[in-house]
Amino acid sequence: MKTKQIGSLDVTVVGLGTNNFGLSMEQPEVDRVVDRAIEVGINFFDTADSYLASEERLGKALKGRRDQILIATKFASPVGESKGGASPAYVRQAAERSLQQLGTDRIDLYQIHRPDPETPIAETLGALGELVREGKVREIGCSNFTGKMLDEADRAVPDGSPKFVSVQNNYNLLHRDDDSDAIAACERLGIAYLPYFPLASGLLTGKYSRGESPPEGTRMHRWGDRAAGSLTDKNFDIVESLDAWAKDHGHSVLELAIAWLIAKPVIASVIAGATKTEQVSANAAAAEWELSASDVAEIEAIVEKAGG
């Protein structure tokens, strides 16, 4: 699988998101998914300390293969009785906990999961810089930051401290708010962009049908009434149009959604979750479809037209 750079890290263009490892999976299921990911060439695994048992289960699944892969994790969200945050003291506490949970001596990409309005970003960056100098963290990034926040962080870096090399935000063919915001900032600052929810919580896989209840076991089914905001006629119009275009080109709408993201130069790796081995294989296969600039333009025109 092709790779791109996140700072000094050479990551595969499709990564594995592990949110479900702690929420809905047990260790044997995690082991199978991780094994398949490595088999198909994925080397980038993204987790967080707030994903319940995700870090611990990922660490166990990767035992004996640590040097083959890159681990990204996050801090700042509430964990247990802790409210989280990004104060220097909490940064170190969270990092030590994640290192222990993962069973490793370093975190390849350590990301602040969400902005902390109570802590100046310079203080957070200073604490992260200490972890880098100690060898406990290799690169640092952020998540759920706006373009303005990225600019502020870039200006606030203490002398001699590392800068954010990545931002991980919600971005897909149905949710493109970052086009004129965080993505524009990434291009300006030389920061890698990591999209989460690349398949729009399953809408861009074709598993949901207009006018039908979400299948049991799916994310939209678990959301209950909250899913109504996503399962709209407008979104189905877009997905059905994209599905037709993908089939005309010999691919699935899932492959289209991931290939479109990979075609964006600023995007380093698509964080795609999976609970089954076949999902891992499908996500990885999408990386083989290389879209041209004209393909990308055509796809985006379809979205604009179908979305009205």
- Cα–Cα distance measured from residue 143 to residue 104, given in angstroms and rounded to the nearest whole number: 22
Contact residues for 197 (Cβ-Cβ < 8 A; gap 6+): 170, 171, 172, 175
> Residue 193 pairs with which residues in a beta bridge?
167, 267
Contact residues for 172 (Cβ-Cβ < 8 A; gap 6+): 195, 197, 198, 199, 200, 204, 257, 261
Interval 171-189: pLDDT, tens? 999 999 999 999 999 999 9
- Cα–Cα distance measured from residue 87 to residue 89, given in angstroms and rounded to the nearest whole number: 5
Adjacency order of strands within the sheet including 192-196: 192-196, 164-170, 137-143, 107-112, 70-75, 44-46, 14-17, 270-273
Q: CA 193, 91, 201, 57: dihedral to nearest 10 degrees?
A: 120
CB-based burial label for 286 (10 Å; 0-12, 13-18, 19+): buried
* Coil, helix or strand at residue 160: coil
Q: Which two tokens stand for residue 150?
A: 């990225």
- Angle between helices 54-61 and 88-102 in degrees, nearest 10: 40
Residue-averaged pLDDT of the chain: 94
Model confidence at 159, pLDDT cuts 50, 70, 90, reads: confident
Residue carrying structure tokens 């069973």: 103
- Cα–Cα distance measured from residue 275 to residue 29, given in angstroms and rounded to the nearest whole number: 8
Contact residues for 144 (Cβ-Cβ < 8 A; gap 6+): 113, 114, 115, 168, 169, 170
The percentage of residues in the chain with a pLDDT greater than 90, rounded to a whole number, is: 86
Rounded to two decimals, the pTM is: 0.95
CA–CA–CA angle 24, 63, 29 (5° rounding)? 25
Our answer to whether residue 51 is catalytic in this structure is: yes
Residue type, position 177, single letter: D
Interval 205-255: pLDDT, tens? 988 888 787 777 677 767 776 767 788 889 999 999 999 999 999 999 999
Q: What are phi and psi of 75, to 5 degrees?
A: -140, 170
Q: Which two tokens stand for residue 231?
A: 């399962």
Q: CATH for 3-208+253-291, among 3.30.70.1450, 3.90.1150.10, 3.20.19.10, 3.20.20.100?
A: 3.20.20.100
Interval 67-116: pLDDT, tens? 999 999 999 999 988 899 999 999 999 999 999 999 999 999 999 999 99
Give me the mean pLDDT over the 4-19 stretch: 98
The conformation of residue 177, written as its DSSP 8-state character, comes to G
Q: Which of 7-11, 213-217, 290-294 has the lowest mean pLDDT?
A: 213-217
pLDDT computed for residue 210 by the predictor: 84
